[in-house]
């Protein structure tokens, strides 16, 4: 009894400091995720403009002046990449479209530290270790704009952590939380979903020698599996592409780290990632040393200590097992599956992220824990600062785009061509889809749209459907090859033309005398088709 009273007294006296540390950790995480989005009107994320365009379609679905129903259909179950767009559309009821999109994107990235926090909590470690997710949140996949994938990784970790909590001490609330997390994951990234279902079952099986419980996961899994089976019946051909013959590519191990970073030509990015890695090694080493020291005078009876050691050992198998699966996918998956590109490199981030779950727990004394938490946060903040700096460079390069697009009216039929990709520190072109922001804010039509691939919840209507007004089809990789544009063949449908090019593109439109130049600002050139008299 005296020992129990001592523990209670220590917990009470430690509580305000622990609360302050938790608040500080949350504030650091919010800042590390939000800061880059405030550094530029348009973040330097390659695919984000089309995430914005699809968000805008949902936001203005019932406004006929935006002409979204004239061209699109909604397929939220067949292609369930919907959560970010639905969140952004809801936010756009209150905020301007670009701000709403950036908040929704930030939420997707915030799921990484949040998911890790739940995973560590479920493993009976400090949820403050969720700060480890700040560095992978700004990996190269984020700058490509693969935000659904990134958010799904966080939800994957969250579902796994909730499974730990559920089999340890089952409650109805935990079952509901797990079920909702799985459903959210389904509507975030369908190809992470079966792995999450497997992780839930696998976690319960791995922990069974300690918990002796499997039944609590059944209720959350029943609707989750039913949802997946329905999707298997209704999925479109674009989401059922063949992977072809698979083989192990051991040579990819040498490129593993390179796929985690390398988003910028700025050498400061590499320095920031290496610094954060060194910090994690030091914190992990110190935490392990503190744990070994604490075991000298544990103060627990043998039975409790034995169960705790078994729990820790089994729990460690889960994140390492998940990381091993994703590493295996990295080694065997192809680069392309149908129209899906950059397939196997994504698994490098997935494997590295889940491997963080093996990080040792922080020491319990607040005087030891606080500086270690601060060190982890500093690593994430350092990477975030580099991203903010480079996004600010991109912001300067898009001032001309912001200015010239003000002259485009509501609901334009806009054809865009990006010849010039210079003006940023990105290693991949962030200007590629930039004009899609016009559709996000003003509606109308685009010459190229992700809807053409059939792998989006927003798809083009059948051309023969009554009242359908669909842009003409474009050849594969149209957005990458503007030089194939022919105004006679490709321009008749459109009334506005936006071109990014260093030299004048007037010659591109000479064959159609009805097209006239409207303006030229920086690298952007704007043309329109003269209204019929």
How far apart, in whole angstroms, are the C-alpha atoms of residue 105 and residue 48? 8
User: Is pLDDT of 380 > 50?
Assistant: yes
User: Is pLDDT of 292 > 90?
Assistant: no
Q: Which residue has the higher pLDDT, 268 or 240?
A: 268
Q: Is 385 exposed, middle or buried (0-12, 13-18, 19+ CB in 10 A)?
A: middle
Tokens representing 436 are 């899609």
From 65-79, 205-219, 236-250, the region with the lowest mean pLDDT: 236-250
How far apart, in whole angstroms, are the C-alpha atoms of residue 316 and residue 356? 10
pLDDT digits (tens, 9 = 90+) for 92-138: 999 999 999 999 999 999 999 999 999 999 999 999 999 999 999 99
User: Is pLDDT of 301 > 50?
Assistant: no
User: Is pLDDT of 338 > 90?
Assistant: no
Tokens representing 250 are 């051991």
pLDDT on residue 1: 38
User: Is pLDDT of 473 > 70?
Assistant: yes
Q: What is the largest CA-CA distance in the chain?
A: 94
Inter-axis angle of helices 147-168 and 346-355, nearest 10: 30
Nearest alpha carbon to residue 366 among 19, 9, 39, 84: 19
The confidence band for 299, taking pLDDT boundaries of 50, 70 and 90, is low
Helix (H, G, I), strand (E, B) or coil at 516: strand
Helix (H, G, I), strand (E, B) or coil at 210: helix
The confidence band for 303, taking pLDDT boundaries of 50, 70 and 90, is very low
With residue 477 as reference, give the H or E element that holds it.
none
Q: Which long-range contacts (CB under 8 A, 24 or more apart) does 178-184 make?
A: 178/217, 178/220, 179/219, 179/220, 179/223, 179/224, 181/155, 182/220, 182/221, 182/224, 183/223, 183/224, 183/227, 184/83, 184/155
How far apart, in whole angstroms, are the C-alpha atoms of residue 147 and residue 88? 13
User: Is pLDDT of 238 > 90?
Assistant: no
Average pLDDT over the chain, rounded to an integer: 93
User: Is pLDDT of 218 > 50?
Assistant: yes
Q: Which residue has the higher pLDDT, 52 or 306?
A: 52
Helix (H, G, I), strand (E, B) or coil at 521: strand
**DSSP classification of residue 152:** H
pLDDT digits (tens, 9 = 90+) for 390-449: 999 999 999 999 999 999 999 999 999 999 999 999 999 999 999 999 999 999 999 999
Q: Is 255 exposed, middle or buried (0-12, 13-18, 19+ CB in 10 A)?
A: middle
User: Is pLDDT of 377 > 50?
Assistant: yes
pLDDT on residue 267: 97
The confidence band for 308, taking pLDDT boundaries of 50, 70 and 90, is low
Q: Which residue has the higher pLDDT, 335 or 496?
A: 496
Q: Which residue has the higher pLDDT, 453 or 468?
A: 468
pLDDT digits (tens, 9 = 90+) for 493-508: 999 999 999 999 999 9
User: Is pLDDT of 13 > 90?
Assistant: no
Q: Is 446 exposed, middle or buried (0-12, 13-18, 19+ CB in 10 A)?
A: buried
Nearest alpha carbon to residue 358 among 125, 166, 113: 125
pLDDT on residue 298: 58
Tokens representing 98 are 């670009």
pLDDT on residue 14: 55
């Amino acid at each position: 009894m005296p020992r129990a009273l001592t523990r209670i007294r220590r917990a009470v006296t430690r509580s305000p400091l622990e609360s302050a540390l938790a608040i500080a950790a949350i504030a650091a995480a919010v800042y590390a995720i939000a800061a880059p989005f405030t550094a530029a009107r348009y973040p330097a994320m390659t695919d984000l403009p089309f995430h914005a365009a699809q968000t805008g379609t949902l936001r203005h679905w019932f406004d006929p002046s935006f002409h979204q129903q004239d061209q699109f259909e909604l397929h939220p179950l067949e292609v369930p990449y919907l959560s970010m767009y639905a969140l952004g559309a809801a936010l756009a009821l209150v905020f301007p479209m670009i701000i709403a999109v950036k908040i929704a994107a930030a939420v997707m990235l915030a799921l990484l530290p949040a998911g890790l926090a739940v995973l560590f909590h479920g493993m009976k470690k400090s949820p403050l270790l969720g700060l480890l997710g700040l560095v992978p949140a700004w990996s190269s996949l984020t700058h490509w704009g693969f935000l659904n994938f990134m958010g799904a990784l966080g939800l994957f970790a969250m579902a796994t952590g909730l499974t730990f909590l559920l089999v340890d001490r089952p409650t109805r609330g935990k079952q509901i939380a797990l079920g909702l997390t799985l459903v959210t994951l389904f509507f975030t990234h369908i190809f992470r979903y079966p792995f999450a279902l497997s992780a839930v079952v696998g976690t319960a099986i791995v922990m069974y020698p300690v918990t002796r419980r499997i039944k609590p996961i059944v209720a959350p899994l029943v609707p989750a599996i039913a949802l997946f089976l329905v999707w298997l019946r209704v999925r479109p051909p674009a989401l059922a592409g063949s992977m072809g013959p698979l083989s192990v590519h051991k040579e990819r191990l040498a490129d593993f780290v390179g796929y985690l970073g390398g988003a910028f030509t700025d050498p400061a990015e590499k320095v920031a990632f290496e610094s954060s890695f060194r910090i994690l090694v030091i914190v992990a080493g110190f935490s392990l040393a503190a744990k070994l020291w604490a075991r000298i005078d544990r103060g627990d009876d043998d039975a409790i200590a034995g169960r705790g050691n078994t729990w820790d050992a089994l729990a460690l198998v889960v994140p390492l097992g998940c990381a091993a699966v994703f590493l295996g996918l990295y080694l065997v998956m192809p680069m392309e599956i149908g129209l899906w590109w950059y397939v196997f490199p994504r698994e490098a981030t997935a494997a590295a992220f889940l491997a963080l779950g093996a990080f040792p727990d922080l020491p319990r004394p607040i005087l030891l824990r606080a500086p270690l938490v601060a060190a982890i946060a500093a690593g994430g903040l350092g990477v975030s600062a580099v991203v903010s700096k480079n996004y600010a460079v991109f912001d300067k390069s898009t001032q001309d785009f912001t200015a010239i697009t003000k002259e485009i009216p509501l609901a334009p039929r806009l054809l865009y061509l990006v010849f010039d990709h210079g003006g940023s520190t990105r290693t991949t072109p962030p200007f590629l889809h930039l004009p899609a922001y016009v559709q996000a804010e003003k509606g109308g039509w685009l010459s190229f749209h992700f809807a053409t691939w059939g792998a989006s919840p927003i798809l083009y209507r059948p051309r023969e459907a009554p009242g359908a007004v669909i842009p003409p089809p474009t050849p594969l990789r149209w957005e990458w090859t503007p030089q194939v544009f022919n105004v006679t063949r490709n321009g008749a449908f459109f009334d506005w033309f936006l071109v990014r090019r260093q030299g004048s593109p007037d010659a591109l439109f000479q064959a159609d005398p009805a097209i006239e130049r409207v303006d030229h600002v920086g690298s952007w050139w704007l043309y329109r088709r003269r209204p019929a008299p």
